[in-house]
């Protein structure tokens, strides 16, 4: 009379199964491990930005903490601090202008509220640049051209990118297009051997466009997912070298109008405002699709990120925060600002 029907038994078994699944520790352990890993990455970012934090956020916090009244006089001091941290005139003007509007609307009551508003303004400047690199698999290979002046870390960046792409399951080929610097080809070949990635190279002094063309043909024939091409380090003030960069782009476009898929400029953060001048010159010549900012762990001039974002609004694809392979990190504007203001 009170027996269970098959339907009741099935429902009961389903509930028990759901209960067992909910009590299973594995998903919770995975979530905890993921959270701990994320905290570790954030801690690494925070540590790497310590010099910039000392110049930028800690200086601003020292100005504001203990102040009884937020007024125009304080904003003048904040403006000077932002400029000294290489935030740049345009970005600083926007920040101060918006903070004054908040002040006139009586939205800045104390130092805590002021710092919160300042962080919002800084992140708003960076938000347009928070665009991660997406690799399209519709046509292979996806071609990334890496450019920049000598000494910014182009070759090292390429090696780290190759490792990153491999970890995501992509096949990778490298093109040793920096044929003018004596050790550039050898350095790239070392990275290739380290990551088991093929490297297409010619003799020293060979035509860079020819090397990259050969690499593209090889990558296409072998159905390689991603081709990353190094180019000669060139001063943005040297017209003949900039013309050679235009030639590389023209040669690629003859193969396919979409090429190159990405033109990424590598900038050294330690150069401060000079990095902004480089970016403007290269962008006018090569129509950049993104930036990589290296050596942020070794400079107090990391505020140049804001100057670059305000002036060019180009995607910041990656930032370099150390020597390890995993220290080339996708740019995250919210994490970047939080790391600058975290103790």
In a domain, 182, yes or no: yes
Q: What mean pLDDT is predicted for residues 122-150?
A: 95
Does a structural domain hold residue 311? Answer: yes
Query: Is 337 part of any domain?
Result: no
CATH of the domain at 80: 1.20.120.140
pLDDT at 9 over 80: no
Sheet with 142-147, edge to edge strand ranges: 199-200, 172-175, 226-229, 142-147, 262-268, 290-294, 316-320, 328-330
The residue from 129, 161, 180 where one domain ends is 129
314 and 279, same structural domain? yes
Which pTM value belongs to this model?
0.86
CB 261 within 8 A of CB 143: yes
Question: pLDDT digit string (tens) for 83-103?
Answer: 999 999 999 999 999 999 999
CATH number at residue 296: 3.40.50.300
Q: Which comes out higher in pLDDT, residue 264 or 35?
A: 264
Average pLDDT over residues 128-137: 94
343 occurs within a structural domain: no
Residue 94 DSSP class: H
Identify whether the C-beta of residue 119 lies closer than 8 Å to the C-beta of residue 89.
no
Over range 235-261, report the average pLDDT: 85
pLDDT at 39: 55
**Domain annotation covers residue 316:** yes
Asked if residue 339 is part of any domain, the answer here is no
pLDDT at 180 (0 to 100): 82
Q: Over the stretch 311-336, which tens digit does the pLDDT of each residue have?
A: 999 999 999 999 888 899 999 999 99
φ, ψ of residue 226 in degrees (nearest 5): -135, 130
Do 35 and 57 reside in the same domain of the chain?
A: no
Which residues constitute the domain of residue 203?
Answer: 142-332
* Residues 199, 218 share a domain: yes
**Is residue 166 domain-resident?**
yes
38-72 burial, b for 16+ CB within 10 Å, e for fewer?
A: eeeeeebbbebbebbbebbbbbbbebbeeeeebee
Which candidate, 19, 22, 108, 114, places its Cα nearest to that of 63?
A: 114
- Are 36 and 55 members of one domain? no
Do residues 168 and 313 both lie within one domain? yes
Co-location of 16 and 114 in the same domain: no
Any idea which residue has 């390429």 for tokens? 158
Is residue 235 located within the same domain as residue 255? yes
Q: Are residues 64 and 195 in the same domain?
A: no
Q: Is the residue at 112 inside a domain? A: yes
Number of domains in the chain: 3
Query: CA neighbours within 13 Å on the CB side: how many for 219?
Result: 30
248, 208 in Cβ contact below 8 A? Answer: yes
Question: In this structure, are 198 and 221 located in the same domain?
Answer: yes
User: What is residue 326's DSSP assignment?
Assistant: G
Q: How confident is the model at residue 204 (pLDDT cuts 50, 70, 90)?
A: confident
Q: Are residues 39 and 173 in the same domain?
A: no
């Amino acid at each position: 009379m009170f027996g269970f029907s098959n339907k009741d038994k099935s429902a009961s078994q389903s509930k028990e199964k759901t209960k067992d699944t909910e009590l299973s520790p594995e998903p919770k352990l995975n979530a905890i491990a993921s959270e701990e890993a994320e905290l570790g990455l954030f801690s690494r970012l925070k540590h790497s930005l310590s010099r910039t934090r000392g110049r930028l956020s800690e200086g601003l916090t020292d100005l504001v903490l203990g102040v009884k009244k937020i007024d125009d006089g304080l904003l003048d001091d904040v403006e000077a601090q932002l400029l000294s941290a290489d935030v740049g005139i345009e970005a600083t003007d926007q920040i101060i202008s918006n903070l004054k509007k908040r002040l006139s609307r009586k939205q800045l009551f104390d130092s805590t509220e002021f710092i919160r508003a300042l962080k919002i303004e800084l992140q708003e400047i960076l938000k347009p640049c928070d665009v991660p690199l997406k690799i399209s698999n519709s046509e292979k290979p996806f071609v990334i051209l890496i450019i920049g002046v000598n000494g910014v870390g182009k070759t090292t960046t390429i090696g780290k990118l190759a490792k990153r792409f491999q970890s995501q399951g992509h096949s990778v080929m490298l093109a040793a297009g920096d044929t003018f610097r004596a050790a550039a080809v050898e350095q790239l070949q070392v990275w290739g051997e380290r990551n088991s990635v093929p490297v297409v190279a010619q003799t020293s002094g060979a035509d860079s466009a020819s090397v990259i063309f050969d690499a593209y043909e090889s990558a296409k024939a072998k159905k390689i997912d991603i081709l990353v091409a190094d180019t000669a380090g060139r001063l943005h003030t040297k017209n003949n070298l900039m013309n050679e960069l235009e030639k590389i782009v023209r040669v690629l476009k003859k193969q396919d109008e979409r090429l190159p898929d990405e033109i990424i400029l590598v900038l050294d953060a330690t150069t401060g405002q000079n990095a902004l001048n480089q970016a403007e010159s290269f962008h006018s010549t090569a129509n950049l699709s993104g930036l990589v900012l290296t050596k942020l762990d070794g400079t107090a001039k990391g505020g140049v990120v804001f100057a670059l974002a305000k002036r060019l609004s180009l995607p910041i694809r990656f930032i370099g925060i150390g020597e390890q392979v995993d220290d080339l990190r996708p740019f995250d504007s919210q994490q970047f600002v939080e790391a600058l203001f975290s103790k």
